[in-house]
Amino acid sequence: MDGLFKNLENKDFFVPKVIEFYKRVPAEVAPILGCEVEIDEGRIEYAHSEYVQRINQFAALLDSANPDHYKRAGALLYSLYRGPRQVITSLTWEHTPDDLETGFGPVAVTKAEAEDMLPFARFYDDYHNEQVAFEFCYRCCAAYDESPRDYDFDYLHNMCWFMKENPDTAPEAYWMIFKSLMQ
């Protein structure tokens, strides 16, 4: 397993790559709602050590010197999301989804733009850690599949709900989720 997943074993690659991705999503809604996240770099560093530990565990338990991309994506999701170690520690809206819905959002935003943005804003407000962790890991995994299967919003919503309701899910379960999604 060369390339991205191998590079993620290097802390100097892992930390800035994860930070960059986690900051990208709020930037997409910032022009309309003004969204900022606080990211805990210490938790990202901890996630890196957890990721490397899980990869080594898979390698030892499965007698595989180089676990496949499904196992790596599962280990990565487990490491970035598990329990109270979530990377995004706070989410601040300049204009909340409620402001947008009631017409008290930014003056320059049309009703059509507000209606278009509102479902994403509410979803992101509820599931920001789950969504970004899953999307990052999915994209890493998909980079290794010739024809990666896409998922729809319903799948993402169910996955985020599952993660939030089951914060102690084992990395093996995440590995199986990625494998079943891609095949």
35-87 pLDDT per residue, tens: 788 999 999 999 999 999 999 998 888 777 789 999 999 999 999 987 567 89
Nearest Cα to Cα of residue 100 among 85, 115, 88, 78: 115
More confident of the two residues 79 and 24: 79
Segments making up each domain of the chain, as ranges: 4-182
Helix (H) or strand (E) holding 37: strand 35-39
pLDDT at 2: 65
Q: What's residue 28's pLDDT?
A: 65
Q: What is the pLDDT of residues 149-171, one digit of tens each?
A: 999 999 999 999 999 999 888 98
- Average pLDDT score, the chain: 86
Other beta carbons within 10 angstroms of residue 145's beta carbon come to 14
Torsional class of 3: left (φ above 0), alpha (ψ -120 to 50), beta (otherwise): left
> What is the structure's pLDDT at 32?
63
Given a contact cutoff of 8 angstroms between Cβ atoms, the answer to whether 55 and 72 are in contact is yes
Give residue 13's pLDDT. 96
Structure tokens at 110: 């049309």
Average pLDDT value for residue range 122-127: 88
pLDDT at 25: 74
CA-nearest of 7, 5, 80, 11 to 47 is 80
Rounded CA-CA distance 159/168 in Å is: 14
Q: What is the pLDDT of residues 73-111, one digit of tens each?
A: 999 999 998 756 789 999 888 777 777 677 666 666 666
So what's the pLDDT on residue 31? 62
SS3 63: coil
